[in-house]
Every structure is written in C-alpha cells, then in structure tokens.
Amino acid sequence: MKIRRIAAGATLAISSLIAASPASAAVIFADTVIDFFNSGANPSFPTGSYGGTFPGSFPVAVPLSNATDGNAATFVSLPTGSYITLGFSGGFVFDGAGLDIFVSEVGGADETANVYVSSDFGASFTFLGVATTSTVSGFDLASIGYTGNVNAVKIVGLDNFGGSPGFDLAFVQGLEGSVVVNPVPEPTSLALVALGLLGAATAARGSRG
C-alpha cells in the first residue's frame, strides 16, 4: 500500500510538469530582421537606424536588434514612411482566442504605425491595423479574417512625433494560445539527420558510378 501511494504521487508530479511546460514556452518574439527602410523623413538621421533606450538616451544610432531583443526599453524609431519587417524564427502566430499579435511602442507622443502580417516571410502582406503610442497594442487576426500562419510582421511609421522622431518600436510578440513554437531538435535526431544525409550522399555517389 505504501509503495502504491508513492507511485501515485510520482505520477501526479510528472503530469504537472508536462502540463506546465508548454505555457512557459509558448511566447515568441519577432526575432529576425528581414527588411528595413529609412525614408529619411528625419533629416538628423537620413540613413541607418536610430532610436535609443527609454528612459535613457535618444535619438542615437542603434542596431536594428533593438526591435528584436524582446526588451521593452530599447527601441528603433520609424519616422514617416520608414519600415521594418521582422520574422519569427522560433515558430509562427495564428488566430487563437482573443488577441494574437502585440506591438510595443515606448515613450508616448501620439506616434502611430501601420501593422501588416505575412505568411511567406515578407514576400506579401495583409494590413492588420494601427499600433498606437506608449503601449503594447494587441491585434486579433480574426478582426481581418486572417486564417494563415503569420511568420513575419511589417511596421510602417506614420509620423515624426516625439523626442526620437517616429514610431518607437520596442518589440513584436505572439502569446500563448496564438503561437506554435518550433520543436527543438534533440541531439539524437540531429545525428540521425546527419546519418541520413551521409547515406543520401553515398547513394548519390554510387548511382553516378
């Protein structure tokens, strides 16, 4: 009887771990830069990318990774007509219950940006909505009847407002319930893939004689 109780407790603990793991993993940031365009609408930074840290120093020249680092304090500014296209390398976003895609703007000087979604890594886009200032704007893919899997998002600045002129993009995110996270290949499956490739190469050589 004693052994049975211990076994039942162990089973419960394992199943809680299994139930808990997807929730912590199912948050993905747009973590790759696919495209960037500086319109030159801010004459102080006609080329390259600028933005800063909020609170902190701005506008200063910054890397585009300020928009992909998942950090709400670091940003890239998008003055009128400038855009950045970001991809999700860790999975994709789909129309789950409620809001699906989140776009963060820091500071707050009435800046806005158009948000577009793509299912072909930025080859084509569909307009989703307008992100607003000093908040994390949430979007529901159902609001535009979008049924595709989103793997890229494009943000287009609409103004030159603020201390760092334009929409100050901090991050783009998909949340639990609306994302599918790519499985991480285990070393054993990677080894099998390598073996398979080796086998295919050997077979190809053999068939060429």
Q: Which residues bind Ca ion (CB under 5 A)?
A: 66, 69, 71, 74, 95, 100, 140, 142, 170-171
- Measured from the CB atom, the residue of 32 and 71 that comes closer to Ca ion is 71
Q: For residue 202, how far is the Cα from the chain centroid?
A: 39
Residue 8 vs 127, nearer CB to Ca ion = 127
- For residue 187, list its beta bridge partners: none
CA distance linking residue 14 with residue 174, whole number of Å: 28
Minimum CB separation of residue 25 from Ca ion in Å reads 19
Q: Least distance in Å: CB of 177 to Ca ion?
A: 8
Q: Which residue is nearest to Ca ion (CB)?
A: 74
Q: Considering only CA atoms, give the Rg of the chain.
A: 22
Q: Are 105 and 168 in contact (CB under 8 A)?
A: yes
Residue 95 phi, psi dihedral angles, 5° rounding: -80, 90
Residue closer to Ca ion by CB (options 49, 74) is 74
Separation of alpha carbons 157 and 170, rounded Å: 13
Q: Minimum Å distance from CB 129 to Ca ion?
A: 12
Nearer to Ca ion, 23 or 43 (CB): 23
CA angle 45, 106, 77 (to 5 degrees): 20
- Three-state DSSP class for residue 55: coil
Element containing residue 19 per DSSP (H, E): helix 2-25
| Residue recorded with tokens 């998008």 | 78
Residue 74 Cβ, how far from Ca ion at the closest point, in Å?
A: 4
Min CB(61)–Ca ion separation in Å: 15
Nearer to Ca ion, 92 or 207 (CB): 92
* Nearest distance from C-beta of residue 140 to Ca ion, angstroms: 4
Whichever of 71 and 134 has its CB closer to Ca ion, that residue is: 71
Nearest Cα to Cα of residue 78 among 123, 33, 120: 33
